[in-house]
Amino acid sequence: MLSDTIAAIATAVGEGGIAVVRISGPEAVMEVEALFRSKTPLSKAPTHTVHYGHIIDPQSQEKVEEVLVTVMRAPRSFTTEDVVEISTHGGVVAVKRVMDLLLLQNIRLAEPGEFTKRAFLNGRIDLSQAEGVIDLIRSKSDKAFSVALKQVDGQLSQNIRRLRHVLVETLAHIEVNIDYPEHDVESFTSDLIKDKSSQVMTEIDRLLHTAEQGKILREGLTTAIVGRPNVGKSSLLNTLAQGERAIVTDIPGTTRDVIEEYVTINSIPLKLLDTAGIRETMDVVERIGVERSRTAVSEADLLLIVINANEPLHEDEMALMEQIRGRQAIVIMNKMDLPAQVDRDLLLRYVPEELIVPMSVKENEGADRLEQAISNLFFSGKLESADMTYVSNVRHIALLKKARQSLVDAYEAADQFVPIDMIQIDVRLAWEHLGEIVGDTAHDALIDQIFSQFCLGK
Ligand code: GDP
Ligand code: ZN
């Protein structure tokens, strides 16, 4: 049903300075006009203009709310339909009253993601761009936000379309060959298939290579801060949490007490495990070897082991470092503002130099070195060049892998002079898998499933 007009509250529920109701569809301007008193009637308003006025109750003719109304006419809007946005005062009451009146008009409540879905169905964005919108909403760090923004911008789509173009040309060539099967043409075609498959495979490999980093930027690096009592774990956590705004999220669908805390060290988002456990040690009672922190250690992508440089290395610490050999771990040598007591040579038996980060949490010293160490571990030292496209979506990664496999099959078949019409199937599969990323060959069920992940009003 693309012909009806939909509305939803577009801002987060709760207190805020303003709230916005978004309306999209052929009747958007007319239906809002019926409730809106302003100097210019809305139907006469030029596109992309903002109008001050009041929402009135058509029954009682009473003013319900003071608002700003923005008109964006088709096709220059997010959905490509006529879109009207009503900005009301913040808080739940004002926006709800406006919403209730709208739904008494010829307007229905939008489903989650329906605005973006319309943008997709009307051809304004493709599927990977739509998924980028979900990621934008969910991003927990600046960097994750820019990754998602590039995707919305269509950079991944452009890459994929280029690859599909190569494959479609190859398919066309194969088609001709099937129609005119002469031997020398056939061997020429085998060479062409091998050539084009490896070209596309190389590109896919390059994209897949960015996936691991994209995942980190998107979801954060799961991190556990561990160490003996009093080395400065809580202090480090608090510093990190202050440096940039720490975001605490209740992930829907999980139990209420599962809370994930995100901090960023400069631009790298860390998802901290068991911060409650660390916070509690602020109390007199220290919790050593608690079952919970042990789970945190085993789940983490990254371990930050804090030691006190003002003390000799403790046997517990040596045991811990022994135990986590082979894991991604950085040793933070804290309290460098005090005279060093730790035996560096002894420490170097357990950890390489570049993974030892001298810090003074108290003096706010060394966070940049910590970021560099993390970046060395997970980004081979260089975090993002400005035009980098990261593949970060699990669905995209799976499809890229499938496409790659089909190309491997095609290459091998061509190499063994399997009949061309058999090879054609693999090339075609690769082309289809790539098409699913941008939505050209996606099924309705998949499309519904993707858009159902959206929040209301988007
Ligand atoms: P935790 O038990 O590992 O969580 O350690 P805390 O963060 O509670 O810190 C223990 C003590 O060490 C506190 O008195 C902190 O103020 C102090 N501390 C933490 N970091 C530093 C530092 O870099 N230098 C100095 N001199 N003291 C620190
Ligand atoms: Zn503590």
Establish whether this prediction's ipTM goes over 0.95.
yes
Query: In this model, does residue 417 exceed pLDDT 90?
Result: no
When pLDDT is cut at 50, 70 and 90, the band that residue 422 belongs to is confident
Q: Going by CATH, does the domain composed of 6-125 fall within 3.30.1360.120?
A: yes
Q: Is 385 part of any known ligand binding site?
A: no
Atom of ligand 1 nearest to the CA of 359: 23
pLDDT at 249: 39
240 lines ligand 1 (CB under 6 A): no
Average pLDDT, the chain: 82
Q: Which of the four CATH numbers 1.20.120.430, 3.40.50.150, 2.40.160.60, 2.30.31.70 does domain 132-215+392-442 have?
A: 1.20.120.430
Domain boundaries, the chain: 6-125, 132-215+392-442, 220-378
Burial 47-86 (b: 16+ CB within 10 A, else e): eeeebebebbeeeeeeebbebebbbbbbeebbbbbbbbbb
**429 Cβ contact list (under 8 Å, min separation 6):** 402, 403, 406
In tens, the pLDDT along 152-190 reads 778 888 889 999 999 999 998 888 776 666 656 667 788
Q: Is 168 part of any known ligand binding site?
A: no
pLDDT at 180: 66
**What does pTM read for this prediction?**
0.58
In this structure, the chain runs to a length of 458
In tens, the pLDDT along 272-300 reads 876 555 554 433 333 444 445 566 677 78
Query: In this model, does residue 196 exceed pLDDT 90?
Result: yes
Q: Which residue has the higher pLDDT, 395 or 188?
A: 395
- Closest by alpha carbon to 371, among 248, 229, 263, 212? 263
Q: Tokens at residue 243, please?
A: 């440096």
Q: Which residue has the higher pLDDT, 120 or 453?
A: 120
230 lines ligand 1 (CB under 6 A): yes
In tens, the pLDDT along 227-283 reads 888 888 878 887 777 644 333 333 333 333 334 567 777 667 788 876 555 554 433
In angstroms, the CA 418 to CA 273 distance is 53
Query: In this model, does residue 143 exceed pLDDT 90?
Result: no
Q: Tokens at residue 233, please?
A: 């774990």
Compute, in angstroms, the gap from residue 214 CA to the centroid of ligand 1. Answer: 34
Terminal C-alpha separation, the chain = 17
User: Domain 220-378, what architecture?
Assistant: 3-Layer(aba) Sandwich (3.40)
In angstroms, the CA 129 to CA 145 distance is 13
Q: Is 422 helix (H, G, I), strand (E, B) or coil?
A: helix
Ligand minimally distant from the alpha carbon of residue 306: 1
Which range has the top average pLDDT, 5-19, 122-136, 296-310? 296-310
In tens, the pLDDT along 79-131 reads 999 999 999 988 778 888 999 999 999 999 988 888 988 888 888 888 888 88
Cα separations (Å) of 425 from 129, 323, 360, 421, 429?
A: 28, 50, 61, 7, 6
Atom of ligand 1 nearest to the CA of 227: 3
Q: Is 176 part of any known ligand binding site?
A: no
Query: In this model, does residue 2 exceed pLDDT 80?
Result: no
- Closest by alpha carbon to 300, among 281, 318, 278, 319? 278
Q: Tokens at residue 47, please?
A: 């596109």
pLDDT at 278: 53
